[in-house]
Every structure is written in structure tokens, then in C-alpha cells.
Amino acid sequence: MPADSGTRELVFVAHTAQASGAEKVMLDVIEVAVARGHRVVVVCPTGPLSARLPDSVGHLPIRELGLTGQRGAARIRAALVMLWRWFQAAIVLRKVFRGGRVELVVNSTMALPAVALSVPRRRSTVWLVHDILASRRQFVVARIGRRAVGRAVAVSERAAAPVRALGFDVDVAWLGVTWPVEAAPIVERRPPVIGILGVITAWKGHHVLLAAAAELPEVGIEIAGTALPGDEPYLAELRERAARPDLAGRVRFLGHVDPLVTVRGWDVLVSASVLPEAGPLAVLEAMSLGVPVVATDHGGNVTDDVALCVAPDDPAALGEALRRLVHDPQLRARLREAGRAHIATRHDRSRTLPRMVDVLLGVDHSNLSVPSARPGRRRTSGPRARGAGPALR
């Protein structure tokens, strides 16, 4: 990798206004980039994500670029709208390039077509890969983006593999969480509390957990998180399922929570995604606290040595794993110790985050003095920040 070339003009592109796992990683990367003196602009829809940008970071608004839970004819109409919005976003990005030499970091798969329509030089764009490509739509979108992307940086080896197969040059930079943290207390709760944390959308598999819990009358379930726009009907379906006699009184919907505080009060965290997930941060946070994890076997940062892994979309397998874990204190103890050791050796944010920034910027990590990523002051409103970057000059 080349040496650090001084101040960079960086533009990050995200397809959504929401601030879930991938967007939180982007915010962390931006804080390190700003601490190093780089000028940053974020191109994304106005909403929770733009409101969390540091004051020194510019914001250029675009429309939402993804599909959010539509079905049937509504999904076809939404796809046509998305095509039009890709062209609109491309116009915004072309204005960015007129301001001079900038480097683009694409933070989401669904933003790739807009970038492909606008980027004049392939070598100027890096794709930060948070998804394991699995669906036909994802592969089509990635192929469209291939003409615009010079390099890709994946958050796990599993996420890197299908991107490499499409011909991208891919590096891997692991995700991390705060370490060290105090372990969760070992408490014999009755009933044991099984939790799931993250945005509430169908591919996260909340319905699979409820189906499994229906056969486990000895446990309670807590669902932490909020529904994405367009996924409100899915949340309503979950609430209706939770009200049936076999689950009535055993399921709590917590809404938005402080992740570490909430997970600290759980006996088991479940990651039940039915589609491949490259590296759920909730799993890493649970491991850092010593809370045992049951997760669908999609690879990423979840392996058999640190979690109980089960087949996706299989309530019976998930239920059996939960029953085994709830009734086996020695297994819980083993996973507790293995999870914390895994975070300490591989997912310590103080090491993984600076390295991710180095890899994204093509900087030789061994020759760089890395300032710590101090929490920046976040904006609470408004589409545009003070001290805007290159596209706002």
C-alpha cells in the first residue's frame, strides 16, 4: 500500500437514511478519517444517519435507493422508482467530481448503480462490503457497480468470497467492538431471557425465533429494535404472533435500546437471519459481554467455536439449540469464555477500526501513527454540516 499522502477529499455514499449496523460502521470510519485531518462529505438521504454526522462533515442529500419490504405490484413500482432515483443520485455525484479529485467510499450495495452512472475513474472508488451477496438482485447490482469500483474491502472472509468471484480486487478488514468491557453478571433467571437485537425486518428472522420459542414454554423473549420504513406490516405480524396462546405474555417488544445495557440482561442472544449476514455487530457485542450466542450458520464472525450455529430458517433447529443452551450451564460457561477471548484477540475496535480506515484509504498501516477515534459531536438536525467538504465549497 502507498504511504499516507496527507489530506484527502473523501466522499462516502449510503443508500439509506437509517443508522443501523453498516451505517454505524461508516460513522466510526468517518470519525477516524476526520481525526486524521481528511475532509469528508456524506451523500445519503436525510434522516437519522445524516443527523448523526459530526459537525465538520458535509452532507449532500439524495433519495432512498433501496427496496424496503414491498410485495407484489407495489414492489415492481418501487423498483421503477429506485431506477429513477439511481439516476438522480448520479447527478448529485457528478457534481461532487466537478469539484476536483475526490475519493469515493461506497457503503452499501444498493448505491453501486448510482456510482457506476457517475464515477469518471474506476480507481477512485472503494466499496465497503457489509453484505454476503446471495440474491440475484444483489449479484446484478454488484455487476453493474463493477465498472466503477477499483477495490473492495469486505468485513469478513465470507463476505469477500462472492465479491472476488465477480472479479473485484478484495481486501478484508474485520469489524470490532469496544474492548475491554465488564462481563455481564451470571444470574440464574427464571424464566431465562432470550433476546434478539437489530432492525426489525423479515430477513433478520424474528419470526423464526418466535416459532422456535412457541415450543419452549420455559423461556421469555425480548425483541429489541425498530422496524425499517416499509417493514411496519412485518412488525405487526410479529406482534400478532406473540399474542397467540402459545406465546402470550412471554414476548416483550423493547423498541430502541442501548445495546450493551440491554444485552447485559439476557441469558442468550439470537441472530436468526434467514439470509447471509457478513458480521452482525450485535453478536460481537454479546460475545464481548460473555453472553452466549445462537446464530444461523452464515459464516462471517460467527463460528462453531464461539457460538451454537444452526441452519437458517429452521425453527426446530433453533429451538433445540436454545433448549440445549438453557439447560447446560457448562456449555454456557464455555461459550462465555470463548466469546470474550474471540473479541480480545480478533475484534478489539481499537485495533480493527484504524486498520479498516487504512485499508480503505490504501495506507500502509505499519508506517502510520494513528490518532484515536474520539467521539465527535453529532448534529441533531439539518441536512448540511458546518465545515463542509469538497462538494460543498
pLDDT for 338: 97
| Spatial contact of 287 and 223, defined as CB atoms under 8 Å apart | no
CA distances from 267 to 301, 381, 392 (A): 20, 37, 48
Question: What pLDDT is recorded for position 369?
Answer: 37
Whole-Å CA distances, 90 to 59, 242, 384: 15, 43, 19
pLDDT of residue 383: 37
Give residues with Cβ within 8 angstroms of 95, minimum separation 6.
391
- Do the Cβ atoms of 175 and 352 come closer than 8 Å? yes
The pLDDT of residue 379 is: 44
Contact 287, 344 (CB under 8 A): no
Rounded to whole angstroms, the Cα distance separating 95 from 85 reads 16
Strand partners, 126: 105, 151
Interior angle at CA 149, CA 370 and CA 155, nearest 5: 50
* pTM exceeding 0.85: yes
pLDDT in tens, 339-361: 999 999 999 999 999 999 999 99
pLDDT at 384: 38
Round to whole Å and give the CA distance between 210 and 296: 15
- Helices vs. strands in the chain: H and E counts, helices first: 13, 13
Residue 374: the pLDDT is 39
pLDDT computed for residue 78 by the predictor: 75
Work out the percent of the chain whose per-residue pLDDT is above 70: 87
Cell of 355: 486498520
Q: Give the DSSP H/E element, type plus range, for residue 151.
A: strand 151-154
At position 77, the amino acid (one-letter code) is R
Strand 268-271 and strand 293-296: the pairing is parallel
Q: What is the pLDDT of residue 102?
A: 85
What pLDDT score does 5 carry? 57
- pLDDT class of 72 with cuts at 50, 70, 90: low
Query: What angle, 0 to 180 degrees and rounded to 10, lies between the N-to-C axes of helices 21-35 and 349-361?
Result: 80
How far apart, in whole angstroms, are the C-alpha atoms of residue 10 and residue 17?
19
Q: Output the pLDDT for position 176.
A: 96
Query: Which tens digits make up the pLDDT trace of 167-202?
Result: 999 999 999 999 999 999 999 899 999 999 999 999
Strands 193-197 and 220-224 come out as parallel
Mean pLDDT of the chain: 88
| Residue 214, pLDDT above cutoff 50 | yes
Interatomic CA distance for residues 150 and 384, integer angstroms:
29
Chain centroid, CA 123 distance in Å:
25
Average pLDDT over residues 25-48: 97
Work out the number of other CB atoms within 10 angstroms of the CB of residue 81. 15
Query: What pLDDT score does 277 carry?
Result: 87
Per-residue pLDDT at 364 exceeds 90: no
Tens digit of each residue's pLDDT (9 = 90 or more) over 235-284 = 999 999 999 999 999 999 999 999 999 999 999 999 999 988 887 899 99
Burial of 84 (0-12, 13-18, 19+ CB in 10 A): exposed
Which pLDDT score is estimated for 173? 96
What mean pLDDT do residues 53-79 have?
81
Instruction: At 297, give phi and psi (nearest 5°).
Output: -85, 75
Amino acid identity, position 303: T
185: its cell numbers: 453478571
Q: Residue 317: helix, strand or coil by DSSP? A: helix
Whether the predicted pLDDT of 60 surpasses 80: yes
Burial class (CB in 10 A: 0-12, 13-18, 19+), 89: buried
Give the torsion sign (CA, 120, 121, 122, 125): negative
For the stretch 76-129, pLDDT in tens is 787 788 899 999 999 999 988 876 678 999 999 999 999 999 876 655 699 999
CA atoms in the 13 A half-sphere facing the CB of 278: 28
What residue type is assigned to position 28 of the chain? D
More confident residue, 322 or 76: 322
Side chain identity at 375, as an amino acid letter?
P
At 371 the pLDDT is 37
Mean pLDDT, residues 310-338 taken together:
97
Closest CA to 128 of 63, 178, 86, 172: 172
Q: d(Cα 191, Cα 254) in Å, to the nearest integer?
A: 17
Model confidence at 229, pLDDT cuts 50, 70, 90, reads confident
Locate 1 and state its grid cell: 500500500
Element (H, E) at 126: strand 125-129
- In sequence order, the β-bridge partners of residue 154 are 129, 172
CB-based contacts of 63: which residues, under 8 Å, 6+ apart? 45, 85, 88, 89
